[in-house]
Amino acid sequence: MNIYSIIKKPHVTEKTSLGSDTSNTVSIVVDRDANKIEIKQAVETLFKVKVDDVRTVNVAGKVKRVGKNFGKRSNWKKAYVTLQKGQSIDFFEV
């Protein structure tokens, strides 16, 4: 699998912002077929940081209703990547 297709986008919420400040962890939306080893290699290569730990979560898509019709959002995968001390990823550089 190509390292550029593994990482989709950062997943930035209040909870993940607190995690990045306190435990040096970032949250990333990744390809559903990617495993922890591939995610670690992709993050280390693309962002030039050292990864300490990778935890993954398969997130089920929500069922949504528009009028009388029901639809379902796609399932997706999220990875919590813990970086080594002194390392950081800044997704929004100014």
Q: What is the pLDDT of residue 92?
A: 73
Q: What is the pLDDT of residues 19-42, one digit of tens each?
A: 778 889 999 999 999 999 999 999
Q: What is the pLDDT of residues 41-93, one digit of tens each?
A: 999 999 999 999 999 999 999 999 999 999 999 999 999 999 999 998 887 76
∠ at Cα 50 (90, 1), nearest 5°? 90
Structure confidence at residue 7 as a pLDDT band (50, 70, 90) = very high
Domains defined along the chain, listed by start: 3-83 (3.30.70.330)
Is pLDDT above 60 for 14? Answer: yes
- Cα(3)–Cα(35) distance, rounded to whole angstroms? 12
Q: What is the pLDDT of residue 16?
A: 87
